Every structure is written in structure tokens, then in C-alpha cells.
Amino acid sequence: MLRKHTTCRRTFLKNLAATGAVISLPAYIPSQALGKNGTVAPSERVTLGCIGVGGRGMLDTNGLLRTNAGQVVAVCDVNAQRRKRAQSTVNSYYAKTRPKSDYKGCDAYNDFRKVILRNDIDAVMVATPDHWHVPIAMAAVRSGKDIYVEKPLAISIGESRALKDIVQRYSAVFQHGTEQRAMAHLRYACELVRNGRIGRLHTVSVGAPGGRAARPVQPTSAPDHLDYDFWLGPAPKVPFTPGPCLGNGHWFISDYAASGFVAGWGIHPMDIAHWAMDADRTGPLEIEGVGVYATEGPHDTPLKWNVSMRYADDVKVRFIDSSQWKLGAEGIRFEGSDGWIFASRFKGLDAGDKSLLKSVIGPNEIHLYEASNDDRNFVECVRSRGETVSPIHAAHSSTTVCLLSNIAMILGRKLKWDPGTERFTNDDEANQMLSRAHRAPWNI
């Protein structure tokens, strides 16, 4: 385990040797135990707990397993089937890849509090449904842990700001699970925009997959392997239905996801748009939009949306679902006075002038944070105490603009926003929507 404020074992041994003390070592020590051949010694690895190990959570857990400098020692989920699967995955991985002397079993928990109260865990990954992100993450930071939190950061702007404040107060290392800042072609597109390759930026179009409708489902009894009341946590108490808890239905129900795919998927390209716009610490000045909603069934977040925003320097941003443009399922189109660039996670890059895509970013120009993998970057920053590629202020900014879009659609009128005070300047009703009540005892 890596301890933040104590001397690590390697330093201790070096200091001990300098005093002339005799240190007896076994005749053979595996290279992994000494941190040779590109490995990290066990005493210097970041110990990790993974909270929420469903579909997205298992992807994150597998990513953290592959970071040589980290070791997963605990998994947690209120679904017994999922946590047992995760525990088996972790134990099997280490049994195959690390020597017996280095191998330690992975513990499994139903209650996240048992993970964050362990003194031998340095950091936690939170990949629960969205309504649990902030309560768990805040508790983890208060217990001295660093945190990797899946996107979107929160289900309300008030929650997001509260987490940002406590992360900064405790100097915790934070990584947001938007992933795309660790993709080289998207970083390059942002550098082209930031260095003026398309002239003065004036228009940004952001597209993301739309929401999903669902048929009405009758309540039933929760299965024995699910702690349903704990799954609900801070959300209102309602009868159990299979879709939200055992499938992906929670992505599109406002009690658990606030804005559905507006933030749940849209935050990916919106975060990249903010990176290119140098808007990681600010937001729009005006916002208005319309949404299309299902007329029946449990899903109550937008199926389609069309949101318009105005930022400082009169930069206009249009945020739409992918049914309304012909550029693919997702992506960002940057338009400037001298041309345009299109950037997509799946479709790569395009530009009006193809030579732009061969442009070299010079040594004296703006170079953005380079990371090849967000899981590895998080673990490295826990060790170095440096800032990650997706830090808390960027996570808060990109989450906020998605949640602002949702508020504008619900109210159906133009709203004026002050990014400094993080309040609406022209709408008291909108300001009442900045925070949401939590079911006791899960208040933040």
C-alpha cells in the first residue's frame, strides 16, 4: 500500500543501508518484488477499492487491474452476483500475473463504507448509478482517499459543486471517467483549435446519442441477491422494477440519472468541446433548449434535444442529439473564421482544409495535457500527487453545462447564467432546480 505521508519501504531500506546496518536478504527475490523490469514494488503500489462493479464498473476495474502501479484489494456492490463476479475476476487476474508471495486476496463488500474506512486503501473508483456518485465520493475524500468517479459527476449542479469544493479542500487526487481526454486524436483537435488553426472560434456543434423509451413495467419483488433499499440510497423510495436495477434503465430515469443521455453520454463530447474552448473553469452566459420526452413508461429523460448556448467572446454552442445531424452518432464540429474541424471518438478527425490535420504544434504553442490511458494516469497521479488529465474543475464544468441544458429544456425558456456565482440571474424557479433533496440518511 502507498501511504501519502510516510516514508515508503524502498526509501526506508536505502536510509537504513546508508547507516552501515547489515540487511539480510533472501538469495533470490523476484524482480516484481524489487520493482525491476518495468514493474512497481508492492510497497509502492496504489491500493484500490472498486465501488460499483456492474457493466461500466467492470470495465473500469479491468482497466485498473492492468495498471502495473496499482492493486485492487476490494470490490463493492449491492448486487451479490456482480460483486462475486468482480471478486473472482480480480483474484484470478492476480493469481495468474503476480508471484504468490505478492498475491493478496480481494475482499468483497455490500456496503461502500467498509471500503472507504479501510486504512490500507489509498484510492477508490466509483462507478455506481449516477445518484450515488457524490455521496460515496464525498465520504471517500473525507476518509483520506483519492477518487476516480464515473461520468457524469453528479445529478445536480449543487452536488457537483459540493464535491468540487471538498476535493479541493482535501487536496485529493481526482479523475473523471470521461476517458476522451486520454485519446490522442481528440487532444490534437483541441490543440489545433486552441492554437488558432481555424482562426477565431465562433461556433461549436456538439452531438451525442439520444435517449431511449421503455414500456411500462409492473412492480415486483426484488431478488434476494440485490439489496434494493441500499441501491436506492439517496433516491426516493419506490417499488422495485427490474429495468433500473438489473439492466441499464437507470440511465434514463431522472431519480437516478437527472438528465439521461444529455449528461450520461453527452458529457463525453461536451467535455472535449470545453477543453478546446478553454472553458474548464467557466460556462455559458445564456442557454435555451427544447426536448422530446416519452409519453409512457418509466423513462422520463429526453429522447431528443436541441439546446443553444452563448459563451463569452460570443462563441455559440449548439448541443443536439444525433438524430438531428448527419455527422454520425457523436462528435464536435468547431467552426472558426478561417475554417472548420470535426472531431469524433469513433470517426476520427476531419477538416475543411485537410492540410490542417497534418499541422505540427510548435514547441512554443499550446500543448494540452498528454495521457495515453485514464486509469494509468489516475494511479500515476495518486503516486505523484499531480493533477490528472480530467481534474475536478473540468468535471464540474462539463457536468454543469449538461445539467443546465436539462433545466433549460424542462422550463422551456431562455435562461441567463453567471458562471462566477453559478446562479441564474433572471429566473428564481431555475435556481430552485440547482439542488435536489436526498432521502435520509444520505444527505451530503
Instruction: Please indicate, yes or no, if residue 385 is contained in any of the structural domains.
Output: no
Q: Angle of helix 157-170 relative to helix 133-142, nearest 10 degrees?
A: 20
Confidence of residue 139 (pLDDT cuts 50, 70, 90): very high
* 266 and 357 co-located in one domain: yes
Report helix, strand or coil for 107.
strand
* 71 and 153 co-located in one domain: yes
* 187 and 136 co-located in one domain: no
Q: Across residues 362-377, what is the average pLDDT?
A: 97
* 201 and 160 co-located in one domain: no
Q: What is the CATH number of the domain that holds 287?
A: 3.30.360.10
* 141 and 235 co-located in one domain: no
Question: How many domains is the chain partitioned into structurally?
Answer: 2
* 299 and 204 co-located in one domain: yes
Name which of 64-68, 120-124, 128-132, 190-194 the model is least confident about.
64-68
How far apart CA 372 and CA 181 sit, in angstroms, is 9
13 pLDDT higher than 80: no
What is the domain range of residue 53?
9-180
Give the model's pLDDT for residue 247.
85
pTM: 0.91
How far apart CA 151 and CA 176 sit, in angstroms, is 6
Where a domain ends, among 126, 157, 180?
180
Q: Read off the pLDDT of residues 269-316 as tens digits, 9 standing for 90 and up.
A: 999 999 999 999 999 999 999 999 999 999 999 999 999 999 999 999
How far apart CA 268 and CA 173 sit, in angstroms, is 21
CA dihedral 156, 161, 163, 168 (to 10 degrees): 170
Q: How far is CA 196 from CA 44, 317, 351, in A?
A: 43, 18, 14
* 161 and 37 co-located in one domain: yes
* 176 and 187 co-located in one domain: no
Give the model's pLDDT for residue 260.
96
* 213 and 353 co-located in one domain: yes
97 pLDDT higher than 80: yes
351 pLDDT higher than 50: yes
Q: Across residues 113-123, what is the average pLDDT?
A: 97
Instruction: Please indicate, yes or no, if residue 288 is contained in any of the structural domains.
Output: yes
Q: Are 401 and 270 within 8 A, CB to CB?
A: yes
* 75 and 196 co-located in one domain: no
CA dihedral 340, 344, 347, 350 (to 10 degrees): 10
* 153 and 226 co-located in one domain: no
Confidence of residue 99 (pLDDT cuts 50, 70, 90): confident
* 134 and 197 co-located in one domain: no
Where a domain ends, among 180, 213, 246?
180
Instruction: Please indicate, yes or no, if residue 388 is contained in any of the structural domains.
Output: no
Instruction: Please indicate, yes or no, if residue 332 is contained in any of the structural domains.
Output: yes
User: How many Cβ atoms from other residues are within 10 Å of residue 7's Cβ?
Assistant: 11
12 pLDDT higher than 60: no
Q: What is the CATH number of the domain that holds 101?
A: 3.40.50.720
225 pLDDT higher than 60: yes
